[in-house]
């Protein structure tokens, strides 16, 4: 029996694609290995969003090529966004790769590897198992000036609600406890469907499924955020008061040049309403520095805005020009060192915000979902409701706790981004809902917020 391994790079949307491919190949008779070195077939699902993502994909392919040269891997496939966009160029530059496939070509990949048509199969999770991503749409209609996603994945295609619920039911059967709802832009879900099903109907339907104790919403666009979502979140049983809303910038001229659809005043008003109307809201955002036309005054307004708002989580990245995007004609006039300096200023500001918020949580009891146990350090790692996996903060708890379970943890110390705690007991289902919907009663409203800078790539 041939073995395979999949390396999935980039965003969570890519990871879902990898999981669907893995399920099809397992159904076709291949066996999955946990390491690339042990696989006969190595598949790299690439990201091609911005320059650092492209570089990571190329570096990974080159490393994998060495395994093939050493005959530790027999077949090397490159798939996904980078391959979709630069397939012919990659074929010329990387002859050691056996085949290239773009996005949404699972059937072609299966036919190439299995020598037969793909058989429908459920996705095979590549997350720890107690959390999973639920993709509700593919593609994007926003056409942000800097973004190549519409060129790679096309216009938005929303998945009908009945198919979403079928996928959710399968994930519930896999004992998934936390469901993370994703798309390139979740807030425009349903606009392309005949019945125009809105995002709030999707969330309301998912909330009826008690198998998911936490439901988390990602990738909401500030220009399309439906105020009615506030009521859905507040009245739900399982939807967390956590919203990921990438603003990218706040300066009006930069937002206009980015084609973001709304100005800074709209963003300010929306965030103010969200923070006022959703109790204990954890707000994540992403910003870009160095976009053409970002003057010192424009950057300073962004920096001051971050200090003012004090996001609970914050990602940041520098602008890089992408071929065939509307912003390409603007060039790349801001020097790399200036862009990096601005990013570091954002990072330093958020780091201080995060430390202050973390210190405010010391002495409070928090409900923690355990993601991992490290045998070497004898520490368990978990998350509060404020934290999405891989991109947000962690709570470090000495000793072995059961992965995928909730615990009540006393916070004893605070680092810049992470918290230190002591487990007191395994959390009840009622306590978990109370902890996520209301926050700790031992802390002030400010103590319910955390911050973290991460190099993330959001829509």
- pLDDT tens column, 27-74: 999 999 999 999 999 999 999 988 899 999 999 999 999 999 998 999
Average pLDDT estimate for 196-200: 97
Give kind and range of the element (H or E) at residue 453: strand 453-454
Q: Say yes or no to pLDDT of 233 above 50.
A: yes
* DSSP state for residue 396 in the 8-state scheme: E
pLDDT exceeds cutoff 50 at 459: no
Q: Report which of residues 402 and 444 the model is more confident about.
A: 402
Per-residue pLDDT, averaged over 290-308, amounts to: 98
Secondary structure E strands in 198-261: 214-217, 239-244
Predicted local confidence at residue 410, as pLDDT: 98
Which residue ranges does the chain devote to CATH 2.40.50.140? Answer: 364-441
CA 371 vs CA 34, 177, 374, 405, 434: distances in Å: 18, 11, 10, 8, 20
Residue 453 has pLDDT above 80, yes or no: no
Q: 131-337 is classed in which CATH architecture?
A: Alpha-Beta Horseshoe (3.80)
Q: Is 383 helix (H, G, I), strand (E, B) or coil?
A: strand
CATH number of 3-114: 2.40.50.100, 3.40.50.12160, 1.10.645.10, 2.60.120.260? 3.40.50.12160
List the strands of the sheet with 214-217, edge to edge. Answer: 131-135, 178-182, 214-217, 239-244, 282-289, 313-318, 453-454
More confident residue, 450 or 279: 279
Q: Is the pLDDT of residue 442 over 60?
A: no
pLDDT bracket for residue 429 (50, 70, 90): low
Distance CA 137, CA 184 (A): 7
Residue 455 has pLDDT above 60, yes or no: no
- The pLDDT, as a whole number, for residue 457 is 35
What is the rounded average pLDDT of the residues 410-426? Answer: 94
pLDDT tens-digit profile of 375-392? 999 999 999 999 999 999
What is the per-residue pLDDT across 63-112, written as a single tens digit (0 to 9) for each? 999 999 998 999 999 999 999 999 999 999 999 999 999 999 999 999 99
CATH 3.80.30.20 domain locations along the chain? 131-337
pLDDT at position 426: 81
- For residue 20, pLDDT over 90 is answered with yes
Banded pLDDT at 428 (limits 50, 70, 90): low
Percentage of the chain lying above the pLDDT 90 cut: 90
Main-chain dihedrals φ then ψ at residue 145, nearest 5 degrees: -60, -30
Residue 145 in contact with residue 325, Cβ under 8 Å?
A: yes
Q: Which CATH topology does 364-441 take?
A: OB fold (Dihydrolipoamide Acetyltransferase, E2P) (2.40.50)
CA dist., res. 301 & res. 283, Å (int): 19
- pLDDT in the model for residue 50: 87
Grade residue 425 by pLDDT with cuts at 50, 70 and 90. confident
Helices 199-207, 161-173: axis angle to 10 degrees equals 30
Every domain of the chain with CATH number 3.40.50.12160 lies at: 3-114
pTM over 0.85: yes
Phi-psi region of 285 (alpha: psi -120 to 50; beta: other; left: phi over 0): beta
Average pLDDT over residues 443-458: 31
Query: Rounded mean pLDDT of 325-334?
Result: 97
What are the C-alpha distances in Å from 289 to residues 259, 339, 432?
15, 6, 38
The CA distance from 53 to 43, in Å, is 17
Q: CB–CB of 322/328 below 8 Å?
A: yes
């Amino acid at each position: 029996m041939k073995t395979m391994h999949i390396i999935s790079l980039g965003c969570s949307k890519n990871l879902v694609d990898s999981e669907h491919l893995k399920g099809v190949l397992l159904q076709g008779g291949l066996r999955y290995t946990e390491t690339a070195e042990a696989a006969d077939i190595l598949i790299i699902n690439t990201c091609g969003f911005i320059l650092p993502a492209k570089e990571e994909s190329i570096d990974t392919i080159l490393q994998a090529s060495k395994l093939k040269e050493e005959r530790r891997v027999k077949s090397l496939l490159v798939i996904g966004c980078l391959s979709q966009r630069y397939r012919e160029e990659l074929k010329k530059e990387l002859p050691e790769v056996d085949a290239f496939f773009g996005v949404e070509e699972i059937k072609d990949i299966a036919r190439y590897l299995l020598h037969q048509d793909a058989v429908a199969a459920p996705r095979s999770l590549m997350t720890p198992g107690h959390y999973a991503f639920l993709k509700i749409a593919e593609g994007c209609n926003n056409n942000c000036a800097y973004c190549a996603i519409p060129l790679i994945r096309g216009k938005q295609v929303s998945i009908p609600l009945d198919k979403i619920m079928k996928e959710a039911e399968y994930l519930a059967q896999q004992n998934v406890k936390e469901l993370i709802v994703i798309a390139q832009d979740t807030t425009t879900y349903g606009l392309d469907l005949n019945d125009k099903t809105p995002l709030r109907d999707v969330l309301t339907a998912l909330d009826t499924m008690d198998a998911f104790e936490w439901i988390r919403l990602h990738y909401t666009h500030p220009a399309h955020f439906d105020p009615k979502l506030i009521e859905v979140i507040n009245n739900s049983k399982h939807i967390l008061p956590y919203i990921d809303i990438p603003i990218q910038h706040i300066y009006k001229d930069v937002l206009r040049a980015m084609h973001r659809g709304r100005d800074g005043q709209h963003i300010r008003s929306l965030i103010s309403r969200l923070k006022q109307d959703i109790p204990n809201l954890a707000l994540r955002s992403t910003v870009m520095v160095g976009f053409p036309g970002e003057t010192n005054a424009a950057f300073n307004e962004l920096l001051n805005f971050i200090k003012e708002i004090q996001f609970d989580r914050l990602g940041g990245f520098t602008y890089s020009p992408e071929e065939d995007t509307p912003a390409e004609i603007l060039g790349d006039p801001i020097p790399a060192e200036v862009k990096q300096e601005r990013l570091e200023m954002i990072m330093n500001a958020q780091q201080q915000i995060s430390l202050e918020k973390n210190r405010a949580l010391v002495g409070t009891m928090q409900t923690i979902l355990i993601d991992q146990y490290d045998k070497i350090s004898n520490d368990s790692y978990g998350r509060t409701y404020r934290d999405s996996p891989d991109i947000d903060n962690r709570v470090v708890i000495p000793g072995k706790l059961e992965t995928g379970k909730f615990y009540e943890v006393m916070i004893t110390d605070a680092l810049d981004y992470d918290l230190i705690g002591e487990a007191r007991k395994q959390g009840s289902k009622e306590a978990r809902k109370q902890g996520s919907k209301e926050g700790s009663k031992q802390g002030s409203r400010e103590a319910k917020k955390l911050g973290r800078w991460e190099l993330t790539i959001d829509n």
